Amino acid sequence: MKKSKSTDAVLVTAYLQGDESALSTLITRHKQRIYSFIYSKVFDRDVAEDVFQDTFIKVINSLKRGKYNEEGKFLPWVMRISHNLVIDHFRKNNRMPKFENNSDFNIFSVLSDNSLNAENTIIKGQVASDVRRLVDELPDDQKQVLMMRIYKDMSFKEISLQTGVSINTALGRMRYALINLRKVIDKHNIVLTD
Amino acid sequence: MQKMYSRSSPSGQVDKNMVPKDQTVRFLLNYSKALRVFEYQSIKFETLLN
């Protein structure tokens, strides 16, 4: 009973003289305030537990090494150590607190990944190669216009200049190329969707 | 993996009655009992006795 009424300074002195139970009293007296303070910053029970433990390991080391002076008060000193360790914790975690999904809100419901998954990437590649094979079956003049328009992204004006035919002829060849492609696709029931 | 620049909002006020696990306190008391600091020619040595 006597010990629980002693001031922190008396307990610290007793601890420095080898009374281990004084430390127990100090921890019991202040654990709630220190732990709540840490938890209010980190919002994670496990992290709070770790920071609390590290705080008192520092406290014990400093006391046993005789680095603590009675100028300051015990609790503010411990609070400052825990505050510094909380800062160290956030620094270690890339300077940002960790995000954890909970039942109310999941970050992936608003963040989407537009890249294709492995299966769709394979399907897309197969469709592209199927179309390419069908294009190879077209008559040369149609194939030439279609390749320039679709794969090289040239305008019909550029196509007409390069192939030496009029724009209308190039447009006509493109039209027939697409009609022929559709015919082949329909005829062989080729599925070109992903 | 992209970085998460968001933080979950604390649900309600922090409970002021939170305490560390007994296990943690016990560990600290045992650590304290095991730790000895010796001074030899103004150099301090720490030893942990299990």
pLDDT of residue A1: 44
Is residue B30 within 8 angstroms of chain A, CB to CB?
A: no
Would the CB atoms of A102 and B8 count as touching at under 8 Å? Answer: yes
Q: Are residues A83 and A123 in the same domain?
A: no
Question: What are the backbone dihedrals phi and psi of residue A65, each rounded to the nearest 5 degrees, phi first?
Answer: -85, 0
Q: Are residues A173 and A125 in the same domain?
A: yes
- Report the distance separating Cα A19 and Cα A39, nearest Å: 30
CB contacts of A103 in chain B (<8 Å) are none
Instruction: Give ipTM to 2 decimals.
Output: 0.71
Say if A170 falls within a structural domain: yes
For the residues B32-37, what does the mean pLDDT come to?
A: 88
Confidence of residue B8 (pLDDT cuts 50, 70, 90): low
Q: Are residues A145 and A95 in the same domain?
A: no
Average pLDDT, chain A: 86
**How many separate domains does chain A show?**
2
Is residue A52 within 8 angstroms of chain B, CB to CB?
A: yes
Would the CB atoms of A20 and B18 count as touching at under 8 Å? Answer: no
Q: Are residues A96 and A43 in the same domain?
A: yes
Q: Are residues A123 and A96 in the same domain?
A: no
**pTM across the whole model:** 0.54
Name the nearest CA neighbour of A180 among A138, A128, A148. A138
Q: Are residues A90 and A12 in the same domain?
A: yes
Q: Are residues A101 and A122 in the same domain?
A: no
The stretches in chain A having pLDDT less than 50 are 1
How far is C-alpha A94 from the chain's CA centre? 11
Q: Are residues A145 and A174 in the same domain?
A: yes
Domain that holds residue A43: 6-106
Q: Where are the domains of chain B?
A: 19-50
Is pLDDT above 60 for B36? Answer: yes
Is pLDDT above 60 for B10? Answer: no
Say if A52 falls within a structural domain: yes
